[in-house]
Amino acid sequence: MNAGAFLKLFARNRLAAAGGLILVFVVLIALAAPILPLQDPYAQDTADKFLRPFSDGHFLGTDHLGRDILSRLIWGTRLSLVVGLVASFGAAFFGSIIGIVAGYFGGRTDNWLMRGIDMLMAFPYILLALAIVAALGPGLTNALIAVAVVNIPFFARNIRGVTVTLAHKEFVDAARLSGMTDIRIMLSEILPNVLPVIVIAMSTTVGWMILETAGLSFLGLGSQPPVADLGSMLGEGRNALITDPHASIIPGIMIFVIVMSVNLMGDGIRDALDPRLRSGALTRPMARTLVDRDAVPEPPANPALLDLQDLRTEFRVGNRTLKALSGVSLEVRPGECLGLIGESGSGKSVTALSVMGLVASPPGVIAGGAVRYAGQELLGAPFSELRELRGNRISYIFQDPLATLHPLYTVGDQIVEAIQAHRSTPNAQARARALELLNAVRIPNAERRLGDYPHELSGGMRQRVGIAMALANEPDLIIADEPTTALDVTVQAQILALLDDLRRDRGVAILFITHDFGVVAQLCDRVAVMYAGRIVETGPTDAILDAPAHPYTRRLIACVPRLGEGRRALHAIPGLPPAVDDLPAGCAFAPRCDKATDACRTGEITLAKSAANRAVRCLYPEGDVA
């Protein structure tokens, strides 16, 4: 992330920005202490002790020895800030080394280091710091060491946790295979990845460390007279708290201001560095996609099971608007299988997720159109209604079953959960139903597999479990988003045959998303071809395969190899799909199309009905459909 984007996100958080400004101001004054026209902070004048603030020559008054409080405050702030910062850098440095080494090597090294850290953590925080200063002797340096030491466990544990997950990632294995030494891997592969965590941990602990150092000084164990940091000023003023409160209240307020501003700023840094928050406002995704549309389209005269009408889903990132869907209309009838096909990035997944309001908001917004399930409008429906439909009447199958199954529950438990989410079924009955479902999706040895964890299954079996969960509540519609893309061809064929059988036996409708015309040919009754967030052609599968009307469809079909046709050159489509934040006027495919004319590059091109049940969005469709 560049510095500009970081600052922008940071500034959006008002409190953090205010904290940052105050802190910068305090730091600048502390830095400027030597050149400011301040009095000597050590010059005593007992005749003028405990002067009130705003007295002549002493803006904030004097302390019990008649020393100027303003001067002492600024010098003390300087000292407190330096000590707090150095302590947190020290703790971060040693804590991170311990964390990275323990997490990277694991096993016995990890055990030894972490048990040492546990021993440090077993003592109460302040007590341990006191014990360390008692052993080393009072003094600011020793207080600094004590505060750094008691904070090492915090960093070590945090960084170890992050490193453990990184140490088994493929890129680290690749670095090992390339023959890099452990030290180099830790420095060049692990460290850059944990650095944001270190920065976040530091920004949230600096405030604490300043406070802890002040605490030790307050007890007389930190800075020694006549030198004073904020804590020892507070300690010295304490004796006169009732008679002359300003001597202790002023440093107290300063500690409060510094710690507050550091903590607010730390929270802001943490939020701005969190990758999930970068692309949107400073909020977590909502439970459903935000809907922000002007008008609701008229309901269709003859509602199907699922009607998408002119659906427009956008991603609003900063001041850019990515139009992932610019008006998608399609319908799925009961028991029908509709294939939605298009290149990667054409908006297929966004279409699928928009149906049930599953596009993450922010940044996703549904900016227009309607989604109707059996005539009922879903985009404006209350969330409880939507939740009632999710996984019950309409269910999903996703591409990567390992990512959608919970790693710590057995597949049996997860299917049972899917059933019980919508029907209060006794456990035994739900389990019997889970078994029945596993048999229905043809998992061998279903009884035993119920007790298996997702990692114990093969990819094809996991996808079958995904299908079983989708079937759990006998839905009317299954939305399958590239369910076979991660599988090898034989397993893909089995899964497709399975889906086809289920559809014929149970009459479920399927919206099948894929980028592969071969798969569509095998499974789908009708197909809708998508390009740059729009449907460009739709019709019965056979008709479209025989005589594609849109040049894009023709080229997509030309990319599919066919058996038994002898040698045939496979043509990749030249060029790339357009960026959705800058769609060209007219036909989005025009720049890649060999038939495009100037007319294709202006105005709106409609999805026109052509032959029976077919429609195409093209001025010069192929064949005789025109």
Minimum CB separation from Mg ion for residue 352, in Å? Answer: 8
Q: Shortest CA distance to 479 belongs to which of 431, 524, 511?
A: 511
Residue nearest to Mg ion (CB): 349
Q: Which does 272 bind (CB under 5 to 8 A by kind): Mg ion, ligand ADP, none?
A: none
CA 411 – CA 454 distance, rounded (Å): 6
Q: Which does 84 bind (CB under 5 to 8 A by kind): ligand ADP, Mg ion, none?
A: none
Which two tokens mark 364? 């996703």
CA 395 – CA 393 distance, rounded (Å): 7
Residue nearest to ligand ADP (CB): 349
CA 537 – CA 621 distance, rounded (Å): 10
3-state secondary structure of 360: coil
Minimum CB separation from ligand ADP for residue 579, in Å? Answer: 7
For helices 3-12 and 246-273, what crossing angle results, to 10°? 120
Q: Which does 395 bind (CB under 5 to 8 A by kind): Mg ion, ligand ADP, none?
A: none
Minimum CB separation from Mg ion for residue 86, in Å? Answer: 50
For 106-144, b/e burial (b = at least 16 CB within 10 A) is eeeebeebbeebeebbeeebeebbbebbeeeebebebbb
Minimum CB separation from Mg ion for residue 350, in Å? Answer: 8
Minimum CB separation from ligand ADP for residue 285, in Å? Answer: 9
Between residues 195 and 287, which has the closer beta carbon with respect to ligand ADP?
287
Binding site for ligand ADP (CB under 6 A): 279, 315, 317, 322, 324, 342, 344-350, 360, 363, 580
Q: Which helix (H) or strand (E) holds 337?
A: strand 337-341
Which two tokens mark 472? 């759990």
Which two tokens mark 55? 């007295």
CA 430 – CA 448 distance, rounded (Å): 16
3-state secondary structure of 375: coil
Q: Which does 210 bind (CB under 5 to 8 A by kind): Mg ion, ligand ADP, none?
A: none
Q: Is 484 in the site for Mg ion (CB under 5 A)?
A: no
CA 79 – CA 11 distance, rounded (Å): 28
Q: Shortest CA distance to 397 belongs to which of 285, 487, 506?
A: 487
Between residues 203 and 349, which has the closer beta carbon with respect to ligand ADP?
349
Between residues 327 and 345, which has the closer beta carbon with respect to ligand ADP?
345
CA 522 – CA 507 distance, rounded (Å): 17
Between residues 207 and 362, which has the closer beta carbon with respect to ligand ADP?
362
Minimum CB separation from ligand ADP for residue 346, in Å? Answer: 4
**Contact pattern from residue 13 through residue 32 relative to Mg ion, giving x for each residue in contact according to CB under 5 A and a dash for the rest:** --------------------
Between residues 151 and 361, which has the closer beta carbon with respect to ligand ADP?
361
Minimum CB separation from Mg ion for residue 353, in Å? Answer: 9
Between residues 349 and 484, which has the closer beta carbon with respect to Mg ion?
349
DSSP bridge pairs for 312: 368
For 27-37, b/e burial (b = at least 16 CB within 10 A) is beebeebeeee
Between residues 75 and 315, which has the closer beta carbon with respect to ligand ADP?
315
For Mg ion, the binding residues in 339-368 under the rule CB under 5 A are 349
Minimum CB separation from ligand ADP for residue 325, in Å? Answer: 8
Q: Shortest CA distance to 359 belongs to which of 244, 428, 280, 413?
A: 280
Q: Which does 363 bind (CB under 5 to 8 A by kind): Mg ion, ligand ADP, none?
A: ligand ADP
Between residues 276 and 448, which has the closer beta carbon with respect to ligand ADP?
276
What is the chain's percent helix, strand, coil content, to nearest 5? 50, 10, 35
Q: Which does 239 bind (CB under 5 to 8 A by kind): ligand ADP, Mg ion, none?
A: none
Minimum CB separation from ligand ADP for residue 343, in Å? Answer: 7
Between residues 280 and 460, which has the closer beta carbon with respect to ligand ADP?
280
Query: Interface with Mg ion by CB under 5 A: which residues?
Result: 349
